[in-house]
Amino acid sequence: GLKKKEVNVLCLGLDNSGKTTIINQLKPTNAQAQDIVPTIGFSIEKFKTSSLSFTVFDMSGQGRYRNLWEHYYKEGQAIIFVIDSSDKLRMVVAKEELDTLLNHPDIKHRRIPILFFANKMDLREALSSVKVSQLLCLENIKDKPWHICASNAVQGEGLQEGVDWLQGTHY
């Protein structure tokens, strides 16, 4: 068959937000890891949809590794930004990291699509995706296509909606 178009995706967000769990769920069952551990540095993963082949840079969100993110911005053609919706204390830290990303010279003037996952929606204390969107001031992002989905990465809920959106944007 035809070779699928390849798209480089950066998976960003604070440590423990669920980035690796999300990416793992998007891989074919036989390629999925059973135990997920905190990412050291970053890991390169692949998954396919009906029309696209995604190469994901699954970055560590730990503070000491966040300075690695910017080295991959130029290569990124899409961003998946993951938020732990139950982590109210660090929502402001997530916003700071998002704002730093949006103001970076390699991102600022590009129409790079950003998919947000308001993850861990299964937890009782989780904020809604609307609330997360308000706290992160997503309505201020006017020069890039973006979309937010509530997700439960452990059960795989909400992920398909996000991937469908990513697949439907232009690269």
**Active site residue ranges:** 62
Instruction: Judge contact between 115 and 9, C-beta under 8 A.
Output: no
| Cα–Cα distance measured from residue 55 to residue 135, given in angstroms and rounded to the nearest whole number | 30
CB of 40 to ligand GTP, least distance (A): 8
| Cα–Cα distance measured from residue 73 to residue 11, given in angstroms and rounded to the nearest whole number | 11
Q: Does 21 bind Mg ion (CB under 5 A)?
A: no
Q: Does 61 bind ligand GTP (CB under 6 A)?
A: yes
Q: Does 122 bind ligand GTP (CB under 6 A)?
A: yes
Binding-site partner at residue 9 among Mg ion, ligand GTP, none, CB < 5 to 8 Å by type: none
Of these, 39, 86, 119, 129, which contacts Mg ion (CB under 5 A)?
39
Instruction: Judge contact between 47 and 27, C-beta under 8 A.
Output: yes
Q: Does 20 bind ligand GTP (CB under 6 A)?
A: yes
Binding-site partner at residue 15 among Mg ion, ligand GTP, none, CB < 5 to 8 Å by type: ligand GTP
Pick 4 or 33: Cβ nearer ligand GTP: 33
Nearest to 76 by CA among 95, 55, 62, 52: 55
DSSP letter string, 44-55: EEEEE-SSEEEE
CB of 120 to ligand GTP, least distance (A): 4
Site for ligand GTP in 141-160 (CB under 6 A): 152-154
Using CA atoms, how far residue 53 sits from 46, 49, 76, 155, in Å, is 7, 6, 14, 23
Element (H, E) at 17: none
CB of 124 to ligand GTP, least distance (A): 10
| Cα–Cα distance measured from residue 133 to residue 146, given in angstroms and rounded to the nearest whole number | 11
Which residues would be at the binding site for ligand GTP (CB under 6 A)?
A: 13, 15-21, 36, 38-39, 60-62, 82, 119-120, 122-123, 152-154
Judged by the rule CB under 5 A, the positions of this chain that interact with Mg ion are 19-20, 39
